[in-house]
Amino acid sequence: MKAEDVQGDLTEVLFSKEEIEAKIAELAAAVDADYQGRDVLLVGVLKGAVMVMADLCRALQGQYPMDWMAVSSYGSGTKSSGVVRILKDLDTDLSGRDVLIVEDIIDSGLTLSWLRANLESRRAASVEVCALLRKPEAAKTSIDVKYVGWDIPNEFVVGYGLDYDEKYRNLDCIATLAPHVYA
Ligand code: XMP
Ligand code: MG
């Protein structure tokens, strides 16, 4: 789906399909350079990270096995509370593995800090994070995100895996959602 298909619902296209593709290639090159020759497990966080994972893993050189987790953050509405429930766990044993968490967006960072601690507690050799987007609140925290695509303003964004009420995930760009949609 393209921005034109849902034009009235969006206020601004932040990143086009082409810009996303270029950014993913940049992130993949950095990951390849850092991990060359190592056996790294990519851990995608469902569902938002599906597009990032699909494109990032194909832009990477060499073997990068992948696994998925689904988590839900307890809390009301659009704000995460940091209390996380695992809806789908990994199939892979992490002991001694290098792990790269692949995320769509980090907002408060609470979900990610929980996830990272959880994976570290499984005796992974290392746990790093690659997120396409990061909002200012998370940028201020001390969570160390090794690979970040873009820091974005504190607005609700959709597209490229990111949804509002399960809609707009299949939008090929990333855009800000018009307030009338969620009002
Ligand atoms: P925290 O606050 O724990 O939460 O970092 C991150 C998760 O919140 C969702 N999220 C968004 N989803 N547009 C979305 O479609 C947004 O602007 C947005 N901000 C946060 C997302 O699920 C992310 O993994
Ligand atoms: Mg997510």
The per-residue pLDDT string of the chain (183 residues; one tens digit each, 9 = 90 and over) reads: 999 999 999 999 999 999 999 999 999 999 999 999 899 999 999 999 999 999 999 999 989 999 999 998 765 555 666 788 999 999 999 999 999 999 999 998 988 999 999 999 999 999 999 999 999 887 777 789 999 999 999 999 999 999 999 999 999 999 999 999 988
Q: Which amino acid is at 64?
A: Y
pLDDT for res 80: 65
**What CATH topology corresponds to 18-156?**
Rossmann fold (3.40.50)
Sheet strand arrangement including 10-15: 10-15, 174-177, 157-158
Check if 98 is active-site: no
Nearest C-alpha neighbor of 73 from the set 124, 41, 118: 118
User: How far apart (Å, rounded) are the C-alpha atoms in residues 130 and 149?
Assistant: 8
| pTM for the whole structure | 0.94
- Structure tokens that stand for 111 in this block: 């979900």
Among residues 154, 112, 132, which one has the least CA distance to residue 51? 132
Q: Is the peptide bond before 47 cis (omega within 30 degrees of 0)?
A: yes
Using CA atoms, how far residue 73 sits from 81, 108, 110, 133, in Å, is 6, 12, 9, 19
Closest protein CA for atom 22 of ligand 1: 48
Asked if residue 162 has its Cβ within 6 Å of ligand 1, the reply is yes
C-alpha R_g of the chain: 16
Backbone φ and ψ of 40, nearest 5°: -105, 130
Helix (H, G, I), strand (E, B) or coil at 87: strand
Q: In one letter, which amino acid is 2?
A: K
Question: By the 8 A CB rule, do 43 and 68 touch?
Answer: yes
pLDDT, position 76: 54
What distance in angstroms lies between residue 71's CA and the mean position of ligand 2's atoms? 8
Are 160 and 174 a contacting pair, CB within 8 Å? yes
Domain ranges in the chain are: 18-156
C-beta of 111 in contact with ligand 1 (< 6 A):
yes
HSE (side-chain half, CA atoms, 13 Å) at 106: 32
Q: Is 110 in the pocket of ligand 1 (CB under 6 A)?
A: yes
